[in-house]
């Protein structure tokens, strides 16, 4: 299993943040985890560190339904500059939505690696690395 340097968890729900963080730590697949409640914060961080691939995450777990900026808005804005980043960041949508329309819409973003449903499990985490 390959170790992931940095994982960003983007979710407004503190309970889901904590579950995801604990599950990732238990599986020991990452050397670093950062938690964000606001997708705009992540976009700002990515833009500020666009020239420094060591500061960029390797993987982002993105919730779709958030109050300030939702996952859809994040994906739209990220699409504008993702090809300019010094490395490809793997993005997994991690959502409680089981709506097939959401899954199809996410598939339209070629830079999204996968669509996962909450809560995280050992089996799901094994596929991340």
β-pairing verdict for 59-62 and 90-95: parallel
Directed axis angle between helix 39-48 and helix 71-81, to 10°? 10
Beta bridge partners of 62: 10, 93
- When pLDDT is cut at 50, 70 and 90, the band that residue 127 belongs to is confident
* Closest C-alpha to 64, from 26, 91, 46: 91
Asked if the peptide bond before residue 77 counts as cis, ω within 30 degrees of 0, the response is no
* Domain 7-128 grouped into CATH 3.40.50.2300: yes
| Six-digit token string for 14 | 């503190």
Spatial CB neighbours of 75, under 8 Å, sequence gap ≥ 6? 62, 91, 106, 109, 112
Q: In the chain, what are the domain boundaries?
A: 7-128
Position 7 scores a pLDDT of 97
Tell me the mean pLDDT in the region 27-38: 94
Q: pLDDT tens digits for 43-93?
A: 999 999 999 999 999 999 999 999 989 999 999 999 999 999 999 999 999
């Amino acid at each position: 299993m390959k170790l992931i340097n940095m994982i960003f968890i983007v979710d407004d729900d503190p309970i889901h943040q904590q579950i995801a963080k604990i599950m990732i730590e238990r599986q020991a697949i990452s050397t670093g985890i950062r938690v964000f409640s606001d997708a705009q914060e992540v976009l700002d961080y990515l833009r500020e560190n666009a020239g420094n691939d060591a500061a960029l995450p390797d993987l982002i777990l993105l919730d779709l339904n958030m109050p300030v900026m939702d996952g859809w808005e994040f994906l739209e804005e990220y699409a504008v500059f993702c090809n300019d980043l010094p490395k490809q960041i793997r993005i997994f949508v991690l959502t409680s939505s089981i709506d097939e329309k959401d899954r199809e819409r996410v598939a339209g973003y070629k830079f999204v690696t996968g669509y996962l449903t909450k809560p995280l499990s050992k089996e799901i985490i094994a596929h991340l690395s």
